[in-house]
Structure 1
């Protein structure tokens, strides 16, 4: 009888970024930085990489009271 336990694979930071960008409200750069621990330029590079992979990422302007720009995935490579 084996007492081994299987550990599920860890979710990658890129997968976390895709999940946050897939939400209805999307995510801003600061939120993506907090979750991944990346610097702003690394988050922007990840967005660029997703675009090159075929994802459509829309940029939502800040609300009337100011605030950050939100990004959201609106199309995936499979839907193209």
Structure 2
């Protein structure tokens, strides 16, 4: 997956103010799918990573930190 970062990042959606911060469960499921090679799950992780500044509550910030950590592990970015 590390080699595909550039190709996948071109498919990530643009900034959206209405982007919903996912739940921890959803992040964990997406992480497992992305680790298994699911391209759509990898794109979803990158899409969430792009919207990390939208987190307002402590719970949302914790979710976004987890997303950043998983993206770093998956893509080494």
Do they fold alike, i.e. is TM over 0.5?
no
Considering fraction of residues, name the structure with more helix: 2
Find the structure with the greater CA-based Rg. 1
Considering fraction of residues, name the structure with more strand: 1
Query: Which structure's relative contact order is higher, taking Cα pairs within 8 Å and 6+ residues apart?
Result: 2
TM-score, normalised by the number of residues in structure 2: 0.28
